[in-house]
Amino acid sequence: MKRKLSLFMILLLSLMVLAMGCSADETSSDEGNESTNGETTQDAEPVSIQLAIEATGSIPEELQKQMDRFNEVNENIEVEVRTFSGGDSYNQAIMGQVAGGVAPDVFLIDGGHRIQMFSESDAILSLDDIVESEGVDLATFEESILNAFVVEDELFAIPKDYNTTALFYHKDLLEEKGLTAPETWDDLKEVASELTTEDQYGFGITPQINYFLPFVESTGLELVGPEGIMNENLKADEHVQSLELLETMFIEDESATSPQMVGAGWDGEMFANQQVAMVYGGSWIPGVLNDNPDLEVGVTPLPVSNTEASMLYTAGWAISSESKHPEAALELIEFLTSDEELVKGHDAGLIGLPPTTTAMEKLIDEKDDDPFLTVYSEVVEYGTPFGWIDPRFVDDYNQKLEELLYKPGERTITDILSDLE
């Protein structure tokens, strides 16, 4: 049964369409949004579709190269690329265009909460039928990533890429003390204490659920699912134990810190400056090696309590429900998510990590000296999509976590968990 826009969505989208005109910095390869009704990719006359994406720096140029490659093998599909500088500009434009019934044929949506919002407002197509009818093979996509785009057992987007989390460490600092990378929580506490000096903390993390959730789920507790936070598990013993781990390392052992506590702009900065010997963070952290090539950095999955866990950040290609050429739109998505294009896209900076096992294997073979990719390909298998969490809960939880760690004695674990109910 076709779902209807809620009053909230109507109001929100109506506001966004007003902001769209002045907030987006658009570029396009063609004028207008012309489409030819009734034609498919097999028609004699070419069809025109639009693709929208946030893109800055060299990305628009690299994206155009990718579209040129697509045009070489798809003469009957003309793609108009519309780029927006900045996430806010992009989001406002997409929301406004959806509200106005002029959304691009193909556009990116974050997995989880946002894909649910767009699907429930009938703004995007369910892809199950068209994927089956067009014979698109999704078997090589990581199931954990695909799950971020499933709403009520229907797929609404195909993953573009992802990022994940891992423990990064300075190899030389561990070797100097005869230590190895921690594998358990007990190891983590011990190694962090051994590496803590007057000038350096043993462990660092940004105290947010964005990075802390894997610690909670490592206990075996399922705190987050496709429907969001499982409120019945908020006060579970396992959740309390996870918070006690951070409380012990930050306050009692004084072996852990955060970017805010050491005056760093972000966790990668404090890691590059060796203000911490180890940091648990996103797969973008090795980017600091571009400016610090002499650093010897190792990587390992999250030290576990009872089971493996990681966080996934992912966005996917969706097709507008207003598209007159959904088959052509799907053909473009299939091209963008082919192994060849995923590898080329990663090398060009168009994507983070490839969402298919086959493309990741090819990337690992191509970059056999990269110590990080193998770990990423491991932790993605059991990752939880960050997008499943309602942004309002994220803000609330992060505030409470900071209160616990930055105001010791004023707030207890019991206090913050009661506030979160």
Question: Higher confidence at residue 75 or residue 194?
Answer: 194
Task: Assess whether pLDDT exceeds 70 at residue 108.
Answer: yes
Report the number of secondary-structure helices (H) and strands (E) in the chain.
18, 14
For residue range 117-148, list pLDDT tens digits in order: 999 999 999 999 999 999 999 999 999 999 99
Task: Assess whether pLDDT exceeds 50 at residue 6.
Answer: no
99 closest CA partner among 113, 116, 117, 87: 117
The predicted pLDDT at position 36 comes to 36
The predicted pLDDT at position 3 comes to 41
* φ/ψ (deg, to 5) at 33: -135, 60
Residue ranges per domain, the chain?
A: 7-162+313-384, 163-311+385-420
* Tokens describing residue 233: 């598990």
Task: Assess whether pLDDT exceeds 70 at residue 324.
Answer: yes
Query: CA-to-CA distance for 237 and 55, rounded, in angstroms?
Result: 44
User: pLDDT band at residue 18, thresholds of 50, 70 and 90?
Assistant: very low
User: pLDDT band at residue 8, thresholds of 50, 70 and 90?
Assistant: very low
* Domain 163-311+385-420: CATH architecture, name and number where available: 3-Layer(aba) Sandwich (3.40)
Task: Assess whether pLDDT exceeds 50 at residue 23.
Answer: no
382 closest CA partner among 212, 233, 218: 218
- Over residues 149-160, mean pLDDT: 98
Task: Assess whether pLDDT exceeds 90 at residue 13.
Answer: no
Domains 7-162+313-384 and 163-311+385-420 share a fold: yes
Task: Assess whether pLDDT exceeds 80 at residue 5.
Answer: no
Residue 421: how many CB atoms within 10 A of its CB?
A: 7
User: pLDDT band at residue 421, thresholds of 50, 70 and 90?
Assistant: confident
Place of tokens 């994406």: 53
The predicted pLDDT at position 160 comes to 98
User: pLDDT band at residue 45, thresholds of 50, 70 and 90?
Assistant: confident
The predicted pLDDT at position 31 comes to 39
* Domain 7-162+313-384: CATH architecture, name and number where available: 3-Layer(aba) Sandwich (3.40)
| DSSP SS3 for 391 | helix
- Over residues 194-200, mean pLDDT: 97
